[in-house]
Amino acid sequence: MPGIILKIGSGRNSKLTEPPIINGWSIRLVIAVIFFLFPSMIEAAELQTRYATIHYEHANQLQKLNRELVPSKNLVYLLQRHKIMTVNDEVAAKIDIIIEQVQIVLEMFPEKLRFEIMLYSTAAEAQEALFKRYRKKVNYISFYSRRENILYLSAQHGKLGVVAHELGHVVIEHYFNRSPPVKIHELMAQYAERHITD
The neighbour count for residue 29, using CB atoms within 10 Å, is 11
Give the pLDDT score at 134.
83
β-bridge mates for residue 48, sequence order:
53
H or E stretch including 4? none
Please report whether residue 83 resides in a domain: yes
User: Is residue 149 domain-shared with residue 88, that is, in the same domain?
Assistant: yes
Q: What stretches in the chain show pLDDT beneath 50?
A: 1-7, 17, 19, 39-41
Strands 15-17 and 150-154 come out as: unpaired
Give the pLDDT score at 130.
84
Please report whether residue 1 resides in a domain: no
Give the pLDDT score at 34.
55
What is the domain range of residue 25?
6-41
User: Is residue 61 domain-shared with residue 34, that is, in the same domain?
Assistant: no
User: Is residue 85 domain-shared with residue 31, that is, in the same domain?
Assistant: no
User: Is residue 67 domain-shared with residue 27, that is, in the same domain?
Assistant: no
Q: Write down the pTM of the prediction.
A: 0.76
User: Is residue 135 domain-shared with residue 111, that is, in the same domain?
Assistant: yes
Give the pLDDT score at 107.
98
Contact call for residues 7 and 16 (beta carbons, < 8 A): yes
Please report whether residue 138 resides in a domain: yes
Give the pLDDT score at 4.
47
Please report whether residue 65 resides in a domain: yes
Q: Rounded to whole angstroms, how far apart are CA atoms 51 and 192?
A: 18
Give the pLDDT score at 10.
54
Please report whether residue 148 resides in a domain: yes
Please report whether residue 11 resides in a domain: yes
Give the pLDDT score at 5.
46
Name residues whose C-beta falls within 8 Å of residue 55's C-beta, 6 or more positions apart in sequence.
44, 45, 46, 116, 117, 118, 119
Give the pLDDT score at 19.
47
User: Is residue 37 domain-shared with residue 56, that is, in the same domain?
Assistant: no
Q: What is the 3-state secondary structure (H, E, C) of 69-114?
A: CCCCHHHHHHHCCCCCCCHHHHHHHHHHHHHHHHHHHHCCCCCCCC
Name residues whose C-beta falls within 8 Å of residue 42's C-beta, 6 or more positions apart in sequence.
35
The residue among 48, 174, 20 whose CA lies nearest residue 102 is: 174
The string of pLDDT tens digits covering residues 2-48 is 444 444 555 555 555 454 555 555 656 655 555 555 544 456 899 99
Please tell me the total count of domains within the chain. 2
Q: Is the dihedral of CA 189, 51, 62, 127 positive or negative?
A: negative
Give the pLDDT score at 15.
54
Give the pLDDT score at 163.
98
Give the pLDDT score at 32.
56
Give the pLDDT score at 1.
44
User: Is residue 68 domain-shared with residue 31, that is, in the same domain?
Assistant: no
User: Is residue 66 domain-shared with residue 160, that is, in the same domain?
Assistant: yes
